[in-house]
């Protein structure tokens, strides 16, 4: 009798665990028109960065807008070769229109993804203009929560890589959508919400 009771309790607990967290596949929720909203902390300022996906096929293109006190907006287009082979992250949203041919933004390249999946280190540029680069590795897998459809219990399977200075990059652990969900560099950006 105790054994049946214990097994039933275990099954109920497992059902509660799986019902309280929804592990989402980014392929099902990120499409043209999807908004990806980040909280940003930079130089003592707090604001939101909202990305609206425009194109996902030949190029990766998005509109972006920042809340007060930044109040800026623009468009970024990333060429296909950059999403495949880049070793540079573009992180400075200031110009109204940017076309990236050898840098990625909001996502890591497939080259970075492959290196970090194999537990290899990879040196990447964090600021190409200033030749600021760092060696990231020591990857580990985990999940990360975000809000989707008024539910804060959604999770993505993620991977985080770090460098010797304590900087970190966390991205969705999915080869087709390695979207950055959190970065701790000289600023902090963290995924808050996705809407579509």
pLDDT in tens, the chain (196 residues): 445 444 433 443 444 444 444 578 998 999 999 999 999 999 999 999 999 999 998 899 999 999 999 999 999 999 999 999 999 999 888 888 999 999 999 999 999 999 999 889 999 999 888 889 999 999 999 999 999 998 988 999 999 999 999 999 999 999 999 999 999 999 999 999 999 9
Whole-Å CA distances, 106 to 16, 19, 21, 102, 109: 33, 30, 25, 14, 10
Confidence (pTM): 0.86
d(CA 134, CA 126): 7
Residue whose token pair is 């999946």 = 117
| Element housing 5 (H / E) | helix 2-20
Residue whose token pair is 């039933």 = 8
Q: What angle do CA 87, 40, 171 make, to 5 degrees?
A: 40
- For the chain, give every domain's residue range: 35-195
CA neighbor of 54 nearest in space, from 62, 42, 64, 46:
62
Q: Tokens representing 76?
A: 């970024």
CA neighbor of 52 nearest in space, from 41, 37, 40:
37
DSSP label at 173? S
d(CA 141, CA 171): 10
| For residue 69, cis peptide bond before it (omega within 30 degrees of 0) | yes
Q: Tokens representing 149?
A: 């459809």
């Amino acid at each position: 009798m105790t054994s049946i009771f214990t097994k039933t309790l275990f099954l109920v607990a497992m059902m509660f665990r799986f019902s309280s967290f929804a592990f989402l596949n980014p392929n099902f929720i990120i499409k043209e028109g999807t908004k990806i909203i980040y909280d940003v902390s930079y130089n003592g300022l707090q604001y939101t960065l909202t990305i609206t996906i425009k194109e996902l096929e030949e190029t990766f293109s998005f509109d972006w807008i920042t809340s007060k006190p930044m109040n800026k907006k623009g468009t970024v287009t990333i060429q296909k070769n950059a999403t495949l082979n880049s070793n540079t992250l573009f992180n400075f949203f200031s110009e109204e229109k940017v076309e990236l041919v050898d840098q990625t933004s909001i996502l890591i390249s497939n080259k970075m993804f492959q290196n970090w999946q194999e537990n290899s280190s990879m040196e990447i540029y964090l600021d190409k203009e200033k030749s600021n680069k760092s060696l990231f590795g020591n990857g580990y897998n985990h999940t990360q929560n975000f809000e989707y459809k008024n539910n804060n219990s959604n999770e993505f399977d993620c991977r985080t890589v770090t460098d010797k200075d304590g900087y970190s990059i966390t991205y969705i652990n999915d080869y087709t959508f390695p979207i950055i969900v959190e970065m701790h560099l000289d600023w902090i950006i963290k995924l808050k919400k996705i809407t579509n």
